[in-house]
Each structure stands twice: as C-alpha cells, then as structure tokens.
Amino acid sequence: MKYEIQGEPMPVVICQLQDGESMISESGAMSWMSPNMRMETVGGGAGKVFGRMFSGESLFQNRYTASGSGMIAFASSFPGSIRAVNVTPDHPVVVQKSGFLASETGVELSVFFQKKLGSGLFGGEGFIMQKLSGNGVAFIELDGSTVEYDLQPGQQIVVDTGYVAMMDATCKMEVQTVKGVKNVLFGGEGLFNTVITGPGRVVLQTMPLNSFVGLIASRLPSKN
C-alpha cells in the first residue's frame, strides 16, 4: 500500500492498493475510490463491537479490498491534519476516540480505559480513547494544529479536557479533579484535567471538535 496526504486544512489520504490488498475504515470515512474496490461491512466479535460502541465509534467497520490495482481516499471530517502512524506489536498507540480514520487490516482497535474507570466515565470528552495495536499503517485525524512532546520517564504534563490527540501506549494517563471550589466555579477550565506521565511521545491538538462546537453554540442567538 502506498499513500499520499493532500489538502490541509481539510486533508485527504489517497491510498494506492495492489491486487488483494485491503483497508479498514469507520463507517462513512470513504470519500472516493476506483470501481474495482470491493466493500464488505464487518463487525468482529461481541467484545470488539461493544468496545467500539462504548468509545463512541460506529458498531461496524468497512473493509475495502482491491481487485487488481485500486485507489481509495479517506477525507478528514474536521479542519486539521491526517497523521500516518506505523503500528507494530512493540509500538501500540492510543488515540482520541474519534481519531481513527482508516488503516491496513493488520491494525486492531480496542477501547482504552484509564486506571480509574469512574473518573474516565465522568471526566467528559477525551477520557475514553482507542488503542491501536497489531501491525500496519493507521491514519489518524487530528483537530486543528498539533504540538508534540517527548516525555522522559516520570516526566508529566497536565492537559485540559479533549486536547490529547494521540500518545504512545507507554505513557500513563490519569484523570484528576480540579482542586478548590473557587477554581471549579470560576476558573472556567471545567472539573477535570488529564495528567500524562512518560516515557513516550504525546501529540496535543489545538482545537478539539467539542471545543469548536461549544464555541459556535455560544455565539448562536437564543430562541425566544
């Protein structure tokens, strides 16, 4: 499989497949393709379906297989970028729950929970994520621009809700409540922060989709 990413800030990844090569994607991610691509809707076992449902993704995925040399394109759903990530058994990656766009079929998706499940459930957007494991190239959607940090063992960074786009699975992530009643009521930063501890690479995004939607909603005139 060969690929080319074009067109930021509304990017698309165009993949060239050889005969018999396949890719998987979330439902609705395909933008255009050559007529010799064969689509099949797959769901996997009950555990995988439940995990996708819990992480906010569609219950089923689409698998596209080339009959002869074929082409297929997957476009981003929000202004930002598409990142190609090489997933290997020694290098699994954790991404935001809406971040997976498409991948080679050797990549496996599962739901990623934090150690404190209760905090993950009530911590809002960004605390239930997806883990990509297996072997292959995966394409990840990132919202807005990105900033990367390479954390050393024990080094930490505190991140506001929803800004964690992707991180190495070697990183540890914990949800913490904001301390102080005054800070919670008047600080404007919400109830929770995410603390990420190295070692590993962390990719942060500058405009999470939920933040963008909230900003637009706040500017809309209220109905009488």
Compute the Cα dihedral for 89, 44, 98, 56 and give only its sign. Answer: negative
Give residue-wise pLDDT tens across range 49-99.
Answer: 445 555 455 568 899 999 999 999 999 988 899 999 999 999 999 998 889
pLDDT tens-digit series, residues 105-148: 999 988 886 655 444 444 444 467 899 999 999 999 999 899 99
Q: What is the pTM of this model?
A: 0.82
Return the ∠ at Cα 159 (arms to 154 and 165), rounded to 5°: 95
| Closest of 133, 150, 123 to residue 204, by C-alpha | 150
Domains of the chain: 2-216 (3.60.160.10)
Q: Which of 35, 171, 12, 214 is nearest to 102 (CA)?
A: 12
Considering only CA atoms, which of 139, 137, 109 is closest in space to residue 30?
A: 139
Q: Compute the CA torsion angle 2, 147, 155, 128 (nearest 10 deg).
A: -70
> CB of 132 within 8 A of CB of 109?
yes
